[in-house]
Amino acid sequence: MSVTDTTSGTAADQGARPPAPRRSPRPARRFWGTVAFHTGAGLLSLLWLVPIAVVLITATRSFDDVASHGLGSLPHSFTLGGFRQAWVDGGQQQALINSLLVSIPTVLLSLLLASMAAFALSRYDMPFRRALLLLMLSGNLLPPQILLIPVDKLSEKLGIYDSLYALIGVQVGFGVGFYVFVLHGFMRAIPPEIQQAAVIDGAGPWQIYTRVIMPLARPALAALTALAFTWIFNDLLWAITVLRSEDKMPITASLLGLQGQYVSQWNVIAAGSVIAAAPTVAVFLRFQRHFVAGLNLGAVK
Amino acid sequence: MAVLTAAGRRAAEGAGRGGRTTRGGGKRATRVPPVVLAFVLLPLLAEGFFVFWPALQGFYLSLTKWDGISAPQFIGLGNYREMIHDTVFHTAMLDTVLWLALFGGLSALLGLGAALLLQQERRGVGFYRAALFLPVVFSLTATALVWQAMYQPDGLINKTMSGLGLGSLTHPWLADQDTALYAVIVPALWRQVGYVMVLYLAGLKGIDPALYEAAKVDGATRWQQFRHITLPQLRSVNAVVLSVIIIDSLRSFDVVWALTRGGPYHSSELLSTYMYSAAFQSLRLGYGSALAVVIFVLAFGVIASYLIRAFKEAD
């Protein structure tokens, strides 16, 4: 990209005026351009990273240090006591387990169901194909507020109120429409000849789905897995709507509990925030490419 | 492309039927195997059960008075009539509009700005992009707590301001009615800008470089290139960003809930937080449902236009 830019720039300049007198200022100009770029982008990044740095530092300070020197001062201590307090006394260990118990099955189940629907809608001439696709997508676009009260009551009636099953169920139902839409777009682009060959070899729909289309859809599935995991892991609203007991809350809700329980013990609260953010940051760093691809795959979103 | 795939598939099915020589080989009898039908029905049922059926109930409940214990009592448009005189509702509505304009407008502008700055493939650009993008993966709750620490009276923001000689401007940012809403928007923006930037980066990458080369040959300035090439070429990304922003704004809940619970004195109340507290704290489930319907109505235009766009794309 930058290569094409510079070459085209010189080509245009050469056409306009003789190149010789412009030789010397050019590298200098490029140098200052680079300096300006790194200054601007560096300051911007710094602005974005400062709050993260503050939390990381606060999490490793002792309570006495924060209390006597203030939150905004440089650290005078180093301890992991805040993490221990958040993890053990603050119940973050259980909360993190709950979050994973919800997120992992939800992601797997949503993507299984969504890939099935997307396969059927993209590879067969279903009646009302487009209408079904949009109906499913529209469910995901609804503001969740309209569902909160009825879902709350529904889970009570089903006897799954205040259980992780309720949370998994509603997360699957609410998310599946979007995943269907994205996967449909991806599967639709798989050349028909591949499926054709499988049909000639006598493969049924189930085999085509498991052996042909799913392996080919892996990039999209990987991207959606990374994306869906962070969405579900980070959810707060559904959790505090269908759950009541402290010991069932996922990490986001338990963070609010920590906030209430350890008022002004900023080292504990900061440590809790770090624990709550760590899993999604790990997913992001490990699957960065998939993650960004996922955001753009769902570009209609 | 769309036409090609459709034609190709029909040919494929023709071949499949020919190969198996099962039923008579009617020209257009696109028979869908029952398994495939089940593939669609199963997810549809899950969504119907947890989304569509509850949504319909939600609309009905907005016409009732209900405490969640005794049976809902039908009161027609009573809840909506009550909103007209409910000052908290007025504040929440106004704050939601402000939120849309500020959170939405600024995240689009800053996201586009960041994308324009970081689109060049220079050394180190990956680091800058990652820095701006990192907050996107944090939960809004964690984001809120991070910023709550920043906003404390002895936190970094006030400390920096005193250090710069602006001590008179230091503030209990979240506790002051005049600043609470803006103080909550900042963390939300901090987390959203990276997301919008990624969308715009992809859009910018899709612009044919030949357009810029042609413009340069014609002697167009940087601004003219931006105005007459970049902006028009980004039209479809803009539409995407706009719908993402509006849908996200109306859904915004976590960050406000974690920082202020809508206070002090409802000064940072959004429709979403007011709906939640009306329903689950005041146990006015009918009124809460009506507030949810208002949110739905505000989002409806965007949802509809989004679906129309998706409809066209789905060939």
Taking the Cβ of residue B231 and every Cβ of chain A, the question of whether any pair is shorter than 8 Å is answered with no
Whether residue A240 lies inside any domain: the answer is: yes
Residue A3 lies in a domain: no
Please state which of the ranges A242-256, B1-15, B141-155 shows the lowest mean pLDDT.
Answer: B1-15
First to last CA, chain A: 27
Of A96, A60, A100, the residue nearest A276 (C-alpha): A96
What's the domain range around A189?
A: 87-297
Beta-carbon separation of A192 and B310 below 8 A:
no
* Residues A173 and A35 grouped into a single domain: no
Q: Are residues A52 and A188 in the same domain?
A: no
Residues forming beta bridges with residue B64, ordered by sequence position: B74
Q: Provide the whole-model pTM.
A: 0.84
A295 has a chain B CB within 8 A of its CB: yes
State the total domains in chain A: 2
Query: Which of B38, B7, B21, B30 has the alpha carbon at shortest distance from A200?
Result: B21
With CB atoms and an 8 Å threshold, state whether B149 touches A266: yes
Cβ-Cβ contacts under 8 Å for B224 (sequence gap 6 or more): B215
User: Is residue A93 domain-shared with residue A190, that is, in the same domain?
Assistant: yes
Percentage of residues of chain A with pLDDT beyond 90: 40
More confident of the two residues B12 and A243:
A243
Q: Touching check for B257 and chain A: CB below 8 Å?
A: yes
For residue A294, pLDDT beyond 80: no
Domain annotation covers residue B124: yes
Domain check: are A169 and A215 in the same one? Answer: yes
Indicate the range of A46-60, A189-203, B155-169, B229-243 predicted with least confidence.
Answer: B155-169
| CATH code of B217's domain | 1.10.3720.10
Interface ipTM > 0.85: no
Interface of A with B in 25-84 (CB under 8 A): 34, 37-38, 40-42, 44-45, 48-52, 54-55, 58, 70-73
User: How distant is the Cα of B230 from the closest Cα of chain A, in angstroms?
Assistant: 15
Q: Identify the residue with better confidence: B255 or B122.
A: B255
Q: Are residues A228 and A285 in the same domain?
A: yes
pLDDT at A19 exceeding the cut of 50? no
A108/A176 same-domain check: yes
Residue that terminates a domain, selected from A51, A84, A117: A84
pLDDT of residue B10: 39
Give yes or no: residues A55 and A92 share one domain.
Answer: no
Torsion angle defined by CA atoms of residues B46, B47, B53 and B55, in that order, rounded to the nearest 10 degrees:
150
Q: Do A169 and B50 touch (CB under 8 A)?
A: yes
Q: Is the Cβ of A233 closer than 8 Å to some Cβ of chain B? A: yes
Average pLDDT, chain A: 84
Summary mean pLDDT of chain B = 84
List, as ranges, residues 25-84 from B with C-beta within 8 Å of A: 30, 32-33, 35-37, 39-40, 42-44, 46-47, 49-55, 57-59, 61, 68
Q: Which has the higher per-residue pLDDT, B194 or B28?
A: B194
Same domain for A45 and A56: yes
Which of B20, B125, B146 should we substitute to test contact with A (largest number of A Cβ atoms within 10 Å)?
B146
In a domain, A16, yes or no: no
Token representation of residue A194: 């591949």
Inspect the interface and report whether the beta carbons of A281 and B137 lie closer than 8 Å.
Answer: yes
Confidence (pLDDT) at B19:
38
Check whether B50 has a pLDDT greater than 80. yes
Window A:95-114, CB contacts with B under 8 Å = 113-114
Within-domain flag for A9: no
Does residue A6 surpass a pLDDT of 70?
no
Q: How confident is the model over A144-155, as a mean pLDDT? A: 91
Domain of residue B261: give its range. 86-313
Q: CA–CA separation, A278 vs B137, rounded Å?
A: 10
**How high is the pLDDT of residue A25?**
54
Helix (H, G, I), strand (E, B) or coil at A78: coil
pLDDT at A244 over 90: no
CB contact under 8 A, A255 and B199: no
Q: For residue A195, give the CATH number of its domain.
A: 1.10.3720.10
DSSP B123: T
**Domain check: are A111 and A79 in the same one?**
no
Last residue of a domain, one of A35, A55, A84: A84
Looking at the structure, tell me whether residues A63 and A32 fall in a common domain: yes
**Are B237 and A29 within 8 A, CB to CB?**
no
- Span A110-135, mean pLDDT? 91
Nearest-by-CA chain A residue for B290:
A146
Note the pLDDT of residue B25: 37
With the C-alpha atoms ordered A8, A11, A17, A22, is the resulting torsion angle positive or negative? positive
Length of chain A: 301
In a domain, A157, yes or no: yes
> Which residue of chain B has the CA closest to A153?
B68
pLDDT at position A13 is 40
Q: Number of structural domains, chain B?
A: 1
pLDDT grade for A298, boundaries at 50, 70 and 90 = low
Checking if the pLDDT of B26 tops 50, the result is: no
* A264 and A222 housed in the same domain: yes
Beta bridge partners of B73: B65
Confidence band of A78 (pLDDT split at 50, 70, 90): confident
User: Among residues A36, A63, A84, which one ends one of the domains?
Assistant: A84
Contacts of A140 in chain B (CB under 8 A): 51
What pLDDT score was predicted for residue B24?
37
Give a yes or no: residue A18 inside a domain.
Answer: no
Residue B71 included in any domain: no
- Let me know if residue A132 belongs to a domain: yes
Q: What percent of chain B has pLDDT over 70?
A: 90
Question: Mean pLDDT throughout A91-111?
Answer: 94
Please provide the DSSP assignment of A164-191 as one string: HHHHHHHHHHHHHHHHHHHHHHHHHTS-
Residue B288 resides in a domain: yes
Q: Which whole number is the average pLDDT over A102-114? A: 95
Residue B158 lies in a domain: yes
pLDDT at A256 over 80: yes
pLDDT of residue A81: 83
